[in-house]
Structure 1
Amino acid sequence: MIKRIFLLMFLMLQFSFLHAGIVVLNGLTHTYKVENGKVYKGKIGIENTGSTPQTVKLFLQDFIYKADGSINYTTIHTNNRTNGDWIRLNTNLITLKAKEKTEVFYEITVPDQPADPGSYWSVIIVEPVEDIKPSNDKIGVNITSVIRYAIQVITDYEPEKAKPDLKFESVKIEKEDGKQTAKIAIANSGNLYCKPTVTIEIYNRKTGERIGSYTSIAMGLLPQTSKSFYIDISKIPADQYKAVLIATDEEDNAFALNVELEIKND
């Protein structure tokens, strides 16, 4: 459960991150509606909340995530919908004094003719650089591990000509912290980023009576990726049911699936 919570916090990209005194101040997802041949400007606000100076490096990577919880960071051009070549940072290395704030600027130069309409993306990695300290106990050095933070830069090119295409991959009932939870894996096989919610409507298998309707939190879903949406259904007694799954994005595009659902006591 703890692992899933941290994963959701990352995928929602709605929180600032803190590590070794470094905080990203203006969000972890930056989205742009872009036109061919134009230049767009963005910035990353960073603060050192610690009491000692901190060096930070910034660089670009491609990334993709799957419903099983895996997140893969790779070199630019690994993803065929990367916009990594479009982005230029004004610096790749900064040093912040204690309590100092700064801004790193970037430009997005859209090609005259992107391959096709839809979403293109990459991530700007913000990584605190830890000092390498000599070891008093053994020959060599001790290297302190650091956590890297990723800022998504999503560019939607001609979104009116593109669309998400959501597919239900699997539905499982699992017990999380003592609560029965519907774990619904959804893939976006379309070419446009969206931020869907998933609703499960549960019906009595014999009478067709509607038992209840429950909804997940909204989460962003890039093309060629998948995520698991979690819905608390612990109020539903153990039994066999019919259910309708409905995934709805912010443009009210809806995707539905009828399923048989079995909720067990254990």
Structure 2
Amino acid sequence: MIKRILLLITLILQFSFLHAGIVILNGLTHSYKIENGKVYKGKVAIENTSSTPQSVKLFLQDYTYHADGTINYTALRTNTRSNGEWLKLNTNLVTLKGKEKTEIFYEITVPNQAMDPGSYWSVIIVEPVEEIKPSDNKPGVNITSVIRYAIQVITDFETEKAKPDLKFESVKVEKMEEKKTAKVAIANTGNLYCKPTASIEVYNRKTGEKVGTYSSLTMGLLPGTSKTFYIDISKLPPAQYKAAIIATDEEENAFALNVELEVKND
């Protein structure tokens, strides 16, 4: 057993992790209300927090995600609501000195043609470039850990003619990190980006008396995508309840579903 522990420690010590010190300073979601034929300008503010120089490449991809946790980064025009071809970066590669900050500028040129109302989007990928260093002939495996950032660029067109349409895909109660959690999968089947919050109003099954209301964090939801909203219901005693699940966005559009909610003993 001691030999196995020593071997494991030796293997761990042979792995070298290099963490890029690149951070994004002005947020991972950039939103614009757009009109036909107009040009909009934006920027990505980057800082190298390490003391050594760091090269960074930037490129565009389409982006979707689903409530089961899958995230898809694909070539432009894969998504029918992509705006990737409207975007132009002023550079695709930049090198920052240690502790240096810089800004990468981009332009969005909206086509002067008929378009469906709603949200269009893509992501700017910001990825540190690690130089290949010659081997120092030390035993073991060198692993480079690279943190990539995906900055959503969301453009909303004729929002007065568009709307989100939220659908409940599933509701499950599971234990997560020692907490009883309601996992509510919600899809946006509409054509407009929104930022909903999921909540559960819980009622005594026999008397109809309200037991409590519990809410999730607010999350953004693009058209044609879905996410799982997590609601802590640890304070609910084990029992069967009647419940109303409500998704409300920032414009106070509300979508509701009545369910039977069962909270089991651990």
TM over 0.5: yes
Following TM superposition, where does structure 1 have runs of at least 4 consecutive aligned residues deviating by more than 4 angstroms? Answer: none
Aligned to 2:128: 128
* Residue type at the aligned position of 2:106: Y
CA deviations 1:40-93 (Å, max 9, x no partner) are 000010111111110000000001010011111001011000000000000000
Tell me how far apart the structure 2 counterparts of residues 113 and 142 of structure 1 sit (CA, whole Å). 52
Aligned to 1:63: 63
* Residue type at the aligned position of 1:213: T
TM-score (norm 1): 0.90
Tell me how far apart the structure 2 counterparts of residues 142 and 212 of structure 1 sit (CA, whole Å). 52
CA deviations 1:110-162 (Å, max 9, x no partner) are 01125300000000000000011222449xx9673422110000000011100
Identical amino acids, percent of aligned pairs: 78
Deviation at 1:183, TM superposition (A): 0.4
Question: What is the aligned-residue RMSD (CA, Å)?
Answer: 1.4
Contact 1:133/1:142 (<8 A) preserved = no
Aligned to 1:264: 264
Aligned to 2:27: 27
Q: Does 1:213 align with 2:206?
A: no
Aligned pairs, number: 246
Tell me how far apart the structure 2 counterparts of residues 161 and 64 of structure 1 sit (CA, whole Å). 23
Tell me how far apart the structure 2 counterparts of residues 52 and 258 of structure 1 sit (CA, whole Å). 56
In structure 2, relative to structure 1, the CA distance for the partners of 1:142 and 1:132 (3 Å cut) is farther
Tell me how far apart the structure 1 counterparts of residues 49 and 181 of structure 2 sit (CA, whole Å). 38
Contact 1:68/1:227 (<8 A) preserved = yes
* Residue type at the aligned position of 1:122: S
**Pairing 1:155-194 to 2, within 5 Å after superposition:** 155-194=155-194
Aligned to 1:3: none
Contact 2:245/2:258 (<8 A) preserved = yes
Aligned to 1:79: 79
In structure 2, relative to structure 1, the CA distance for the partners of 1:22 and 1:114 (3 Å cut) is farther
CA deviations 1:159-207 (Å, max 9, x no partner) are 1100000000000000011111100000000000000001100001111
Contact 1:37/1:109 (<8 A) preserved = yes
In structure 2, relative to structure 1, the CA distance for the partners of 1:75 and 1:114 (3 Å cut) is farther
Tell me how far apart the structure 2 counterparts of residues 38 and 208 of structure 1 sit (CA, whole Å). 55
Which secondary structure does the structure 2 equivalent of 1:133 belong to? Answer: coil
Tell me how far apart the structure 1 counterparts of residues 144 and 226 of structure 2 sit (CA, whole Å). 33
Contact 2:20/2:147 (<8 A) preserved = no
Contact 1:174/1:183 (<8 A) preserved = yes
Which secondary structure does the structure 2 equivalent of 1:85 belong to? Answer: helix
* Residue type at the aligned position of 2:169: E
Aligned to 1:91: 91
Tell me how far apart the structure 1 counterparts of residues 227 and 46 of structure 2 sit (CA, whole Å). 29
* Residue type at the aligned position of 1:76: L
Structure with max Cα Rg: 2
Contact 2:40/2:109 (<8 A) preserved = yes
Aligned to 1:239: 239
Tell me how far apart the structure 1 counterparts of residues 143 and 258 of structure 2 sit (CA, whole Å). 53
Q: Does 1:222 align with 2:225?
A: no
* Residue type at the aligned position of 1:45: A
